[in-house]
Structure 1
Amino acid sequence: MRAMRITGRVLVVLTMLACAALAQPAFYLKSGDRVVFYGDSITDQRLYTTFVETFVRTRYPQLDVSFVHSGWGGDRVTGGGGGPIGLRLRRDVAVYKPTVVTIMLGMNDGRYRPFDQTVFDWYKTGFESMVQDLKSLAPAARITLIRPSPYDEVTRPAMAGGGYNPVLVKFGDLLQEMAAKQSMQVADLNGPVVKMLERAQATNADLAARIIPDRVHPGAAGHLIMAAALLDSWGAPGVVSEVEIDAKGAKVVVGKNTAISGLSASNGVSWSQTDQALPMPVDLNDAATALAVKSADFLEKFDRETLKVSGLKPGHYALRIDGLQVGVFTAEQLGEGLNLAAWPTPMMKQANEVHALTMKRTGIHNTRWRTIEVPLEADHLAGAKAAMDALDALDTELDAKQRAAAIPVARKYELVPVTADEARIPAGFTPIFNGKDTTGWHISTTNHHGTTPDWHVENGVLVGMQNPVGKGGILLTDKKYKNFEVYLELNPDWGCDGGLFLRSNERGEAYQVMIDYRDGGTLGGVYGERLKDVTSLSIKDWEKYYKRGEWNVIKARIEGEIPRISVWMNGTLVTQWSDVANHSVDGALDGMIAVQVHGGTQIWKEGGKQKFRNIAVRELP
């Protein structure tokens, strides 16, 4: 009897799992689908539509789906600036032989005034007629009707007379009924965005108002949530990959949507991982996007790239993927689990490259359509066809490159034990000083301050000294960097002049962040070290931000062909400086990072030390 009860329980569990699997809707798009996004200026922004395209490319890299973006500003159900509705449907939709068409119209149709039954009836008649024409022109197309995105009456007062967004909601209700009667798909791009705005407004009212800056046209933050709503209506999966590792038992507990090999659990944990998808690229450095993502629970619903590691000894661990330090976490945090989609991983970098190609490809198509095809149609120019053919070929080439870029690759994961001091290095920064020796660095033999050999490590601290007295010099990274941020902690002896060199050559000719820690000195400013015509910037009130006799944090960023430099001191932005031209020697766009011991005896305390630790870099596009 007991054996039968166990079997019964197993059957119950299997039945529940089967039901759960059946409850998960299959993704709406299929291989071979051609999707046309149709709409007004909000679709013409090519933001929610390109987010959808990139999501499909990165979540389903093997799925053969193509996309066309056919929004036109000012459009209504009768057409607009791109021509009457019949022409728009023939030229901008049916010609692509779509198997899927999305339609979002309504923002202009409501005339930006409170509800008017006559206007509503006109919209209803026009939309029904448009759908029938579309079905006739593209009989193979599966149609998704989109409830119009909102007119923002959350972060700003509602329009007098009852508001305008309620008009759009009524339009959406009409589309819901129409879709139900005609077996069409429907997506709500109004309700979820309004709900997100309400939560964002409660968190940060000023920032929330930037999500739809003109009340009509969302920025990227709003479009991301709109894309999520459309994808949700299509049954898009939320999981990128799901991994759980038992470090103590050296075994993989869960490996969903991924393949794991080479697991080792000696002195930390390491393994190789090849996912079947990439995360959706989300710019969490943009404050409005970060607020929208948090307010809509976007990562939890649509971008779950989870890593959970149990059985680790207490302490801090650096997570490195392909050598890039993603962040430092406690054993407890790793045991609870991380969503890597929220962190600057190599996978996110790859996904961003895919999205950049999405934007380039759609830009090429838009140029073909809006700059050549439509405005030159009546001129019957032979060159116009040749130009469109050339742009079509370029579109095809970019499409192939985009698809190839979306294929996940094998990644090397490492969880490396680190000290509490090393744990302070920010997420996304990779250490370039190992705390043990000067591996990865070298002394300049041609610097005009000298060639002091006295660069050594004391208790995890990089120390530079004059040797002999008056002879300074620089210690350079072996690697060159172009656009980057460098993070370091410093605690120099008072009376010692030094610097942090950016894009340096071997001789130490570089843009310098000043570390003149002495009477009359300054920290955090910018100086051209043996660069001609560079206008220096000194920070007069640097002592407001610097803690004497303690460890301090300097973070510096350099980017651009004409260099722009920003400097933070203990978390406060103290410098924003731009050159007027690239004054690097020979116009160099990259160079080494270096730390300096100043030569001479007037601005150096005899026996003094420059001291650095936790030096790390984050490369930028």
Structure 2
Amino acid sequence: MSREISLFDGHSLTGWFAAPRIYGSVYPGGPELLDLVPAMPREYNEQSAKHPAVWTVEDGAIVGRQDAAPPGWGGYLVSEQTFGSFELELEMKPDWPADTGVMIRRRRDSWEGLQVLVDHRQSGSIGGFYGNGIAGFHGVPFNIAARLDALGRPVGLVEDDPTTTLEPITAPKRAMLAQASAAAPFLESWRWRDWNTLRIRCEGTPPRVTTWVNDVLIAEIDTSAIDWPGYNPEAVWSLLGKRGHIALEVHDNDPGMGAARWGRDAACRWRNLRLQEL
């Protein structure tokens, strides 16, 4: 095993570059996502490029926010380096709501890649998977919601109510996971409004990817065996290749969920990003 690499020096964004949030084809050779979602403006990519996410370093952490003027658009912070098989560990501290994530094997200048979800919002998943531009598969073991105090203010996390969820946990979503945690161990480990540790192990091509949060195994997926409409492992991994970029996400406020995805003035913070190539 090679030596550990620090991806963040603690005081600058050296080794990273900002990229706008853009959409492309749903899967390699497939239709364009913007052609399939009438509520999304046709000029989405052009407008998004004008209002990229804002990335700063504050108190030894990378901080991602939406552009305040106007809010609602997202973006990525992308590693200059590419990586193949690795184990990545980092600390994260998202506000509520903040729909974010860590992309791996991402392409440099387009949206394709495998995302480890950090959807710290209603009906979100932390530690599950989403296929950006690689068929949009959604492999998650459970969903979360906010625990509210007597005044209706969020004060912690609970498991999402399946009768009112915005994103139901379906049989295909769980079936694609080689390992899947129940919600309880995750909820017991999660530190509200504090730092939490995410560990991602990515091995091989097509990769098998495993996630842990605060040392609780959350999910594992074998990307050679995904059964999902439009997903063709040969086409996907021919496109993504054996190495790709790592990226941190600030989500947009799409027409379906709006500010429930990313609250006004919300931020996500990342620190102590350490990677070991396998």
What interval of TM-score do these two structures reach, taking the shorter chain for normalisation? 0.5 to 0.7
Structure 1 residue 570 and structure 2 residue 228: aligned?
Answer: no
Higher helix share: 1
Hey, what does 1:589 align to over in structure 2?
Answer: 242
| Contact persistence 2:130–2:137 (CA under 8 A) | yes
Amino acid at match of 1:527: Y
| Contact persistence 1:539–1:574 (CA under 8 A) | no
Return closer, same or farther for 1:564/1:596 CA change in 2, 3 Å cut-off.
same
* 1: CA distance, partners of 2:88 / 2:72: 28
Structure 1 residue 518 and structure 2 residue 118: aligned?
Answer: no
Higher RCO structure, 1 or 2 (CA under 8 Å, sep 6+)? 2
Hey, what does 1:441 align to over in structure 2?
Answer: 16
| Contact persistence 2:89–2:274 (CA under 8 A) | yes
Per the alignment, in what secondary structure is the counterpart of residue 187 of structure 2?
A: helix
Structure 1 residue 456 and structure 2 residue 62: aligned?
Answer: no
Hey, what does 1:466 align to over in structure 2?
Answer: 66
Return closer, same or farther for 1:609/1:439 CA change in 2, 3 Å cut-off.
same
Q: How does 1:297-446 map to 2 (within 5 A)?
A: 428-445=3-20
1:494-526: per-residue Cα shift (whole Å, max 9, x none)? 101011001001223111110000121110011
| Contact persistence 2:130–2:136 (CA under 8 A) | no
Amino acid at match of 2:264: E
Structure 1 residue 496 and structure 2 residue 95: aligned?
Answer: no
Structure 1 residue 475 and structure 2 residue 50: aligned?
Answer: no
Amino acid at match of 1:471: W
Q: C-alpha displacement at 1:558, in angstroms?
A: 1.1
Return closer, same or farther for 1:454/1:546 CA change in 2, 3 Å cut-off.
same
1:120-164: per-residue Cα shift (whole Å, max 9, x none)? xxxxxxxxxxxxxxxxxxxxxxxxxxxxxxxxxxxxxxxxxxxxx
Amino acid at match of 1:505: R
Match of 2:89 among 487, 495, 500: 487
Q: How does 1:96-115 map to 2 (within 5 A)?
A: none
TM-score, with structure 1 as normaliser: 0.30
| Contact persistence 1:501–1:594 (CA under 8 A) | yes
Amino acid at match of 2:213: M
Q: C-alpha displacement at 1:445, in angstroms?
A: 4.1
Hey, what does 1:530 align to over in structure 2?
Answer: 133
Per the alignment, in what secondary structure is the counterpart of residue 481 of structure 1?
A: coil
| Contact persistence 2:141–2:218 (CA under 8 A) | no
* 2: CA distance, partners of 1:494 / 1:606: 10
Amino acid at match of 2:66: Q
* 1: CA distance, partners of 2:53 / 2:136: 31
Higher strand share: 2
| Contact persistence 1:456–1:464 (CA under 8 A) | yes
Residue correspondences, number? 195
- Structure 2: gaps spanning 5 or more residues: 24-44, 144-182, 226-232
Amino acid at match of 1:501: M
Q: How does 1:153-232 map to 2 (within 5 A)?
A: none
| Contact persistence 1:494–1:518 (CA under 8 A) | yes
| Contact persistence 1:475–1:596 (CA under 8 A) | yes
Per the alignment, in what secondary structure is the counterpart of residue 95 of structure 2?
A: coil
* 1: CA distance, partners of 2:81 / 2:263: 31
Hey, what does 2:193 align to over in structure 1?
Answer: 549
Q: How does 1:93-132 map to 2 (within 5 A)?
A: none
TM-score, with structure 2 as normaliser: 0.65
* 1: CA distance, partners of 2:238 / 2:270: 27
Hey, what does 2:42 align to over in structure 1?
Answer: none
| Contact persistence 1:510–1:584 (CA under 8 A) | no
Amino acid at match of 2:249: Q
Q: C-alpha displacement at 1:545, in angstroms?
A: 3.0
Q: C-alpha displacement at 1:589, in angstroms?
A: 1.8
Structure 1 residue 614 and structure 2 residue 272: aligned?
Answer: yes
* 2: CA distance, partners of 1:475 / 1:533: 21
| Contact persistence 2:102–2:116 (CA under 8 A) | yes
* 1: CA distance, partners of 2:55 / 2:112: 20
* 1: CA distance, partners of 2:94 / 2:136: 29
Of all paired residues, the percent bearing the same amino acid is 29
Q: C-alpha displacement at 1:458, in angstroms?
A: 0.4
Return closer, same or farther for 1:533/1:606 CA change in 2, 3 Å cut-off.
closer
Return closer, same or farther for 1:503/1:495 CA change in 2, 3 Å cut-off.
same
Q: C-alpha displacement at 1:453, in angstroms?
A: 4.5
| Contact persistence 1:512–1:529 (CA under 8 A) | yes
* 2: CA distance, partners of 1:470 / 1:535: 23
* 2: CA distance, partners of 1:595 / 1:505: 13
Hey, what does 2:164 align to over in structure 1?
Answer: none
Q: C-alpha displacement at 1:563, in angstroms?
A: 1.6
1:411-460: per-residue Cα shift (whole Å, max 9, x none)? xxxxxxxxxxxxxxxxx432111111110000114634834251000011
Per the alignment, in what secondary structure is the counterpart of residue 81 of structure 2?
A: strand
| Contact persistence 1:509–1:584 (CA under 8 A) | no
Amino acid at match of 2:242: L
1:152-199: per-residue Cα shift (whole Å, max 9, x none)? xxxxxxxxxxxxxxxxxxxxxxxxxxxxxxxxxxxxxxxxxxxxxxxx
Q: Which of 1 and 2 has greater Rg? A: 1
